[in-house]
Structure 1
């Protein structure tokens, strides 16, 4: 009987953690529409770094690895890192930092993310 109560408590805790992680209050907003850079069809001529806002990225154990794998499947992407977080283990800053090589196409990268379900992703200034 005790194990059933523990199982129910564990499921409730997981549900609460999910709701808290997915709540979108003003304090969890990391970018504003005014700070977004529109994607262009231009290909980057030089290597560089840019930050992408990925609002649908909620967890560090499933979402971020999928974002990372999707972006790194692009041959012009050298590395993808999670943006700095206030608290380890939670994603409160839904941004990734992309290091890219010449030939990187931002529009293509955003399309790849959209196909994976991260439809509101955008570059940040």
Structure 2
């Protein structure tokens, strides 16, 4: 009977080691490496650009800054936001789906893990319409939301 328990423990350990070895971070790194190799190989096959130049080209594209965007922030009161584990992520997701919203943060709370101040700080770009954002939250089940500070 003890040998059966040992076999099960060994199989469980092997499974855990496999999942740790193939963590999402590693898979993402492998995909980036594969993409870079594919890009480099296709450029080299064309014979016009060296591998180093292709990698520098890809790196330069990711570093180029966007045009300067004017941002501002406002505080919204969301009285139906009761918990930081389901309600706040839903509010954050709904607001950040908008193109004119850059970030949504939970206002400071007195106690961690509990929402005692149901407010979020919204950082937005020009053209943000608070009334549309409030309507969007209301449609998601967060009725009674208002702008507290702009």
TM superposition score normalised by structure 2: 0.52
The higher-RCO structure (CA 8 Å, 6+ apart) is 1
Distance, in Å, in 2 between the alignment partners of 1:82 and 1:75 is 19
TM superposition score normalised by structure 1: 0.62
Structure 2 portions without partners, runs of 5+? 1-69
Distance, in Å, in 1 between the alignment partners of 2:92 and 2:134 is 12
Distance, in Å, in 1 between the alignment partners of 2:83 and 2:147 is 20
Greater C-alpha radius of gyration: 2
Show the counterpart of 1:50: 74
Name the structure with the higher helix share. Answer: 2
SS in 2 for 1:64: helix
Please tell me the root mean square deviation across aligned C-alpha atoms, in Å: 0.8
Matched, 1:105 2:119: no
Structure 1 portions without partners, runs of 5+? 1-45
Structure 1 segments of 4 or more deviating over 3 A? Answer: none
**CA deviation map 1:19-63 (0-9, x unaligned):** xxxxxxxxxxxxxxxxxxxxxxxxxxx520000000000000000
Distance, in Å, in 2 between the alignment partners of 1:74 and 1:105 is 10
Aligned residue pairs, count: 80
Distance, in Å, in 2 between the alignment partners of 1:108 and 1:47 is 18
SS in 2 for 1:70: helix
